[in-house]
Amino acid sequence: MEVKEQDPVTGRETTGHEWNGIKELDTPVPRGILLFLIVTHIWAVAWWFFAPTWPLGTTYTKGLLGIDQRTTVEERVVEGQQARQDWMARIESEPYDQILADENLMQIVRSSGRQLFGDNCAACHGRDARGRANYPDLTDGDWIWGSGPEAIEQTMRVGVNTEHPESRIGQMPAFGRDGMLERDQVRAVAAYVYSLTHPEFSTPENVERIEAGQQVFAETCSACHGETGEGSAEAGAPNLTDNYWLYGGDLDTIIATVHGGRQGHMPTWDERLTNAEIRMLSLYVHDLGNRQP
Amino acid sequence: MIDKLTYSERQSASFILVAVAVVGLLMAAFGNSNQLGVHGVIVMIFAAALLYPVLSAIYAPEPVEDREASYYDDPIKVGIVLAMAWAIFGMFMGVWVAAQLAWPNLAFDAAWSTFGRLRPTHTSGIIFGFGGNALIATSFHVVQRTSRARLAGQVSPWFVLFGYNLFCVLAVSGYFIGVTQSKEYAEAEWYADLWLVVVWVTYFILYLRTLARRKEPHIYVANWYFMAFILVVAMLHIVNNLAIPIAWSSAKSYTIWPGVQDAMVQWWYGHNAVAFFLTAGFLGMLYYYLPVRAQRPIFSYRLSILSFWGIVFFYMWAGSHHLHYTALPHWVQTLGMTFSVMLLVPSWASAGNALLTLNGAWDRVRSDATLRFMMAAAVFYGLSTFEGSFLAIRPVNALSHYTDWTVGHVHAGALGWVALITFGSIYTLVPTLWKRERMYSAALIEWHFWLAIAGTLIYIFAMWNSGIIQGLMWRTYTGENTLAYSFVDSLVAMYPYYIARAFGGLLFLIGAAIGCYNIWMTVKAVPSTVPATPDAPETAAAVPGE
């Protein structure tokens, strides 16, 4: 069976085997390949000498460099912490006013706070902190729970409507669904709220409905939203007379809000971020609102 | 096809199918309304769908010709059709999940269509559905031709083929309804895994028995690779899937491997799935169809030996490079890294052996897109094995790990190597198998080739860019030693690349669809022909090994 042939193209001999027409040349392994093989092996064996590699029962060869990824990581973490220590400690302990007045420190808050905000808050409030339906804009200078870094810090620590024992509670009752108000009353009070920001809505044909709504508002809503509808940070009830809306200021959305109620959920960060991080973010968010015209 | 079986073979086929249906019934009964129950129903439908044609022809006339005088090609034909069907499904799912990454709303707010569920339908659909069927079909073809012997069984090839597809159906349908072991490329749950063991052992025995019948003194290289593929996949599959179901009536199981050992076993499996499923098996294809198409002898037998044993030995150690900088001890990582680098030379030796085989046939590479498919596959094989060894080096991995670079690397291998060699092999195989003069349209093969190349290049360039940008953004620090970018920032930077990747994948899918049409038309419209050299086993009772 074994018939060796000469291949006309390469001039090599075949091995003499044949399978359904397939033959093989007896070409020796090219020198380059052997050389390359040796190089990779030398490289590998060198690593074995320098780095931890071979298991030996309950231990392993430690390598001449004495490196181990766990200690490397620990060292790097300590180095990083040391490099951040000075300004971190200041952010953690100095009063807010003092930090706000220190332009250099605020520069750090802006650059480092951006990443913290991106990783923890952007999912809800947006990368630019401008919010969207159901999540408040943090740059508009309009605050439900009070302005200033202290109030923001408190909101972050305890959250809104959370399990935290001191959680801020902001419950807008479901007046329509739970039968506290009649259908007509819901529509009337919504029309009144709408007219607060849309004076042109107070046309003669609407006036009756709006006045009926005002009545309802005084009886039912003012406890939380205030006599004039300007809101109360204590109840977490937003100002209804400005153009900043958490859920929406068009008539249909207001009707939906009054009918179904609203209980926004803002998580607590007490256990998830360090003191310094919470303070840095409070300053960062406050600063964003301030930079807004 | 059933007319080629004897009455008693038809009986045993029916018996097996009834037994499978009964198992399905038990699963449906015990699993009642949970996921196992759903799978029981699927098993019953699958078995019934096959039982129907067998029973309808059970009393049909028996074959009169001497079956041993011809190769057993029917299961191969069905395997090719199934492979192409899975290719379209798997690639479509791939384009869909790629598009979801750019436009998340494409999940349409349903549970079954979330990214987490669709992604494994893509990977399993491609690797097991497309790749696996192509491997089974071509291995049946190659082993018969290079042994000059018919497959050593009449029912068992069908059992292997359909049994394997039942596994694929169970795996993929399970992901949609939330069944998963959460092990990458081994997501299918315990009952599907057990079934695959039965199928796979049958496959191995069938392969060995066929080889034992060979009329050639030597075993051809392609068969070494196919054997390594079958044997090692069995080993990997069994060890990685050792698990205990929470109840016989439940689809859920827990692995027996704890913590970091589970991670290590998983990536020993995962990496060797790449090695023995996606590399060894397809090298088997390459070693047969490339020289046949090029009509050239293999460049070097000695190089084949070197690369075969190199690949088989070194791959086994490399899995831990998937776990660099994790809880896995440092020494295991060094081992994985160094063996991955030593693996490079045997890999390149295979790619080089393939390309040098083309010496004297380069004019044909230029004019014949089918051969060009295989040439390009060898080039991509060389590229992606180089990239693999490079990414396995710890400091490089520190940048690339968890980024899209990994995804790009996998697809340089999956699209560039695995899919291209498969298409080249199928275009070579289809006319021979159906005894047609040629493929229906050479122009359509050209179209397929260029769409596939363009799609692959767009895909991997997009992922290189996106991966490296991601990696760099994640490790950039501000002057104050805090991270400069949030994770969301890096996602925003990925967006254009995700669109490009989905587009590249779409081109590849269109190419595969053209391939299906071309195959269909070849079978339907191209005149049949009698092969110049007889295509039949040697029937004289020659003794293996002379």
Tell me which chain A residue has its CA closest to the CA of residue B141. A20
Nearest to B228 by CA among B312, B318, B110, B290: B312
Alpha-carbon gap, residue A71 to A61, rounded angstroms: 16
Per-residue pLDDT tens listing for chain A (293 residues) = 577 899 999 999 999 999 999 999 999 999 999 999 999 999 999 999 999 999 999 999 999 999 999 999 999 999 999 999 999 999 999 999 999 999 999 999 999 999 999 999 999 999 999 999 899 999 988 899 999 999 999 999 999 999 999 999 999 999 999 999 999 999 999 999 999 999 999 999 999 999 999 999 999 999 999 999 999 988 999 999 998 999 999 999 999 999 999 999 999 999 999 999 999 999 999 999 776 54
Q: Same domain, yes or no, for A129 and A254?
A: no
A252 with A215, same domain? Answer: yes
Of B298, B338, B479, the CB nearest to A47: B338
Chain B: nearest CA to A228, how far in angstroms?
41
Query: CA-CA distance, B308 to B288, in Å (whole number)?
Result: 15
Q: What average pLDDT does the segment B148-157 reach? A: 96
Interface test with B, best of A7, A13, A18, A22 (most B CBs within 10 A): A22
Q: Where are the domains of chain B?
A: 1-59, 73-542
In a domain, A178, yes or no: no
Contact of B77 with B434, CB cutoff 8 Å:
yes
**What is the C-alpha to C-alpha distance for residues A193 and A242, in angstroms, rounded to an integer?**
11
Q: What's the mean pLDDT in B352-379?
A: 97
Binding-site residues of B, please?
122, 271, 321-322, 409, 411
pLDDT band at B241 (very low <50, low <70, confident <90, very high): very high
Q: How many helices (H) and strands (E) does chain B have?
A: 20, 2
User: Residues A89, A160: one domain?
Assistant: yes
* Angle between helical axes of B259-272 and B301-318 (0-180°, round to 10): 160
- State the CB neighbour count (10 A cutoff) for residue B203: 26
Q: Is B485 on the interface with A (CB under 8 A)?
A: yes
B301 touches chain A (CB under 8 A): yes
Q: Are B91 and B99 in contact (CB under 8 A)?
A: no
Among B371, B390, B392, residue whose Cα is nearest residue B382: B390
Predicted confidence (pLDDT) at residue B311 exceeds the cutoff of 50: yes
| Closest alpha carbon within chain A to B143 | A19
In this predicted structure, what is the pLDDT of residue A291? 67
8 A C-beta contact, residue B209 and residue B149: no
Question: For residue B545, what pLDDT is reported?
Answer: 47
**Which residues of chain A does B345 touch, with a Cβ-Cβ cutoff of 8 Å?**
33, 36-37, 40
Q: How far is CA B28 from CA A68, A176, B19, B21, B34, in A?
A: 52, 47, 14, 10, 9
- Nearest chain B residue to A41, by CA: B342
The arrangement of secondary structure in B73-542, i.e. its CATH architecture, is Up-down Bundle (1.20)
Helix axis angle for A31-50 and B344-357, nearest 10°, is 170
Q: Which two tokens stand for residue B198?
A: 């039965």
User: Minimal Cα distance from B545: which residue of A?
Assistant: A1
Whole-angstrom distance, CA of residue B212 vs CA of residue B219 = 10
Rounded to 5 degrees, φ, ψ at B328 are: -65, 135
| Residue B237 near residue B169 (C-beta atoms within 8 A) | no
**Domain match, A90 and A160 both:** yes
Find the helix packing angle between B420-433 and B369-391, rounded to 10°.
150
Which range, of A134-148, B434-448, B516-530, averages the lowest pLDDT? A134-148
The nearest alpha carbon in chain A to B358 belongs to A9
Chain B residue numbers with beta carbons less than 8 Å from the beta carbon of A53 are 331, 334-335, 338
Is the Cβ pair A20, B146 closer than 8 Å?
yes
Residues A159 and A89 in one domain: yes
A84 and B338 within 8 Å at the Cβ level: the answer is no
Residue B546 pLDDT greater than 50, yes or no: no
Residue A273 lies in a domain: yes
* Domain co-membership, A283 together with A151: yes
CA distance A226 to B286: 80
Do the chains contact at A37 and B345, CB–CB below 8 Å?
yes
Residue type, B407: V
Is B205 within 8 Å of B159 (Cβ atoms)? no
Question: Shortest Cα distance from B98 to chain A (angstroms)?
Answer: 22
Return d(Cα B398, Cα B491) in angstroms, integer. 19
- Within 8 A of B348 by CB-CB distance, chain A residues are 33, 36
Q: Any residues with CB less than 8 A from the CB of B98 and at least 6 apart, and which?
A: B498, B501, B502, B505
Tokens linked to B70: 């011809």
**How many alpha carbons lie under 13 Å from residue A257 in its C-beta half-sphere?**
26
User: Mean of the pLDDT values across residues B297-310?
Assistant: 96
Helix, coil or strand: residue B320: helix
Q: Which domain holds residue A227?
A: 183-260
Show the tokens assigned to B222.
């392609």
Among B297, B480, B546, select the one facing A23 at the smallest CB separation: B297
- B482 touching A (Cβ < 8 Å): yes
Sort out which chain A residues have CB atoms less than 8 A from B425's CB and list them: none
pLDDT for A293: 47
Q: How many CA atoms lie within 13 A of B398 on its CB side?
A: 6
ipTM of this predicted structure = 0.89
Residue of B148, B338, B488 lying closest to A44 (CB–CB): B338
Give B533's pLDDT tier (boundaries 50, 70, 90): confident
Q: Which residues pair with B254 in a beta bridge?
A: B244
Binding-site residues from annotation of B for Cu cation: 271, 321-322
A159-193 burial string, b = 16+ CB within 10 Å, else e? bbbbebeebbebebbbbbeeeebeeebbbbbbbbb
- Secondary structure letter of residue B545 according to DSSP: T
- Chain A residue with Cα closest to B216: A19
Tell me the average pLDDT across B64-93: 96
Contact A127 B337 (CB under 8 A): no
Phi then psi for residue B47, to 5 deg, are -65, -40
Q: Rounded distance, CA A141 to CA A288, Å? A: 9
User: Which pLDDT value is given to residue B207?
Assistant: 98
With beta carbons under 8 A apart, name residues in chain B contacting A115.
478, 482-486, 489
Give the CA dihedral B394, B395, B400, B406, nearest 10 degrees: -30
How many Cβ atoms from other residues are within 10 Å of residue B482's Cβ?
Answer: 20
SS3 category, A164: coil
Question: Which amino acid, A262?
Answer: R
Tell me how many domains chain A contains.
2
Tokens of A231: 């809101």
Are A187 and A153 part of one and the same domain? no
Q: Give the nearest chain B residue to A120 (CA atoms).
A: B486
CB distance B359–A112 less than 8 Å? no
Q: What is the per-residue pLDDT for B540?
A: 65
Count residue pairs from A and B with Cβ separation < 8 A.
Answer: 161
Q: Which residue of A has its CA nearest to B474?
A: A115
- 3-state DSSP: chain A helix, strand, coil percent, rounded to 5? 50, 10, 40
Alpha helices in B319-368 (DSSP H): 330-342, 344-357, 362-367
- Contact present, B97 and B58 (Cβ < 8 Å): no
Are residues A187 and A122 part of one domain?
no
Specify whether A224 is located in the same domain as A92. no
A75 Cβ contact partners less than 8 Å away, ≥ 6 residues apart: none
- DSSP alpha helices (H): ranges in chain A? 31-50, 69-93, 96-101, 103-120, 122-125, 149-158, 183-197, 204-216, 222-225, 251-260, 275-291
Q: Which residue of A27, A45, A114 is in closest CB contact with B299? A: A27
Spatial contact of A119 and A249, defined as CB atoms under 8 Å apart: no
> Which of B296, B306, B487 is the closest to A29 by Cβ?
B306
A90 and A132 within one domain: yes
Decide if B296 touches A, using CB distance below 8 A.
Answer: yes
Compute the distance between CA of residue A236 and CA of residue A171 in angstroms, rounded to an integer: 8
Its pTM stands at 0.92
- Which amino acid would we find at residue B64? V
CATH of the domain at A148: 1.10.760.10
Tokens of B41: 């129903």
Contact B493, B469 (CB under 8 A): yes
Q: The tokens 């791939």 sit on which residue?
A: B94
Query: Is A17 domain-assigned?
Result: no
Three-class SS state of A132: strand
Q: Across all residues in chain B, what is the average pLDDT?
A: 96
The C-alpha of B145 sits at a distance from chain A's nearest C-alpha, in angstroms, of 6
Whether A62 maps to a domain, the answer reads no
Check: CB of residue B298 under 8 Å from CB of residue A7. no
- Distance, first Cα to last Cα, chain B: 34
> If contacts are CB pairs under 8 Å, which of residues 360-379 in chain B contact chain A?
360
Is A48 in Cβ contact with B334 (below 8 Å)?
A: yes
